[in-house]
Structure 1
């Protein structure tokens, strides 16, 4: 198995199919959530254009907060209350949040002032929030429906491998 970042070619759907295959190959046989999240955030960050942050926040049962996990990019907000921001909305609703302009979201939490658009995929196991997969871009309206579908598939790679306590 090559650990090189794949050169993605073809339509956006074909590129995401290639990225999902690369993700599956990268994490094959692994079950530790931190290892999975670190590997997948690096793969995505180095494979897709116009991203300034890619990472995971994990749900903390006793506080309800989202706590930063492995990521690529500038230092991040360490703790996000589940009742605030785009990440919190994804966690509460268990639906992907695709935001064209984060500055238009009243309770957006600006960890990096250079971020302009965001996509957050909730990670749920058995209908319960486990965490979120968060991507930021300095480009307004960076994320399309095709990006959303592809990144949801990457999130499924993590969920299909992780073992919960």
Structure 2
């Protein structure tokens, strides 16, 4: 099986949903941390805070914990405490973090966002979950080959 080109994969998802930024993390089962694999449109000074994300922290961590998408119409005005304070530095507004699940098992999380307030439709969320499932198939197949 070919190595996964995380950057190309993320760029395709970001473009398909007309977004400006995105991140893709995989789950490191030995540490139970989400590890950054690819990013687009993220200010360089934020990258150290995004390298690893604990389950339950920030949008990606909560999406991983709940195994459900976590969405914000406007990250800039959100006061729920779900988004980490540094997330506002991305200058994005409409954002969603989607768990990558296959048969109930978590393989990672990806997030995409727009520079304007936006609510993702049920159809978009369903499509994003399907994308996460397909990515998980590749992750599982690749990790099976490595083991």
Counterpart of 1:128? Answer: 105
Report how many residues are paired.
133
Deviations 1:40-64 (A, max 9, x none): 2111223332x22123111122332
- TM-score of the pair, normalised by structure 2: 0.75
State the Cα distance separating 1:31 from its structure 2 match.
4.6
5+ residue gaps, structure 2, are none
Q: State whether structure 2 residue 55 is matched by structure 1 residue 78.
A: no
Q: Highest Rg: 1 or 2?
A: 1
Structure 1 consecutive aligned stretches of length 4 or more whose deviation exceeds 4 Å: none
Does 2:60 correspond to 1:87? Answer: yes
Distance in 2 between residues matched to 1:156 and 1:81, nearest whole Å: 21
Matches within 5 A, 1:106-117: 106-109=81-84, 110-111=86-87, 112-117=89-94
Q: Which runs of 5+ in 1 are unaligned?
A: 1-29
After superposition, the C-alpha distances for 1:15-48 in whole angstroms (9 at most, x for unaligned) are: xxxxxxxxxxxxxxx553x42x322211122333
- In the superposition, relative to structure 1, how do residues 114 and 130 fare at CA in structure 2: closer, same or farther (>3 Å)? same
CA contact (8 A) 1:98 1:148 kept: no
The normalised TM-score by structure 1 is 0.68
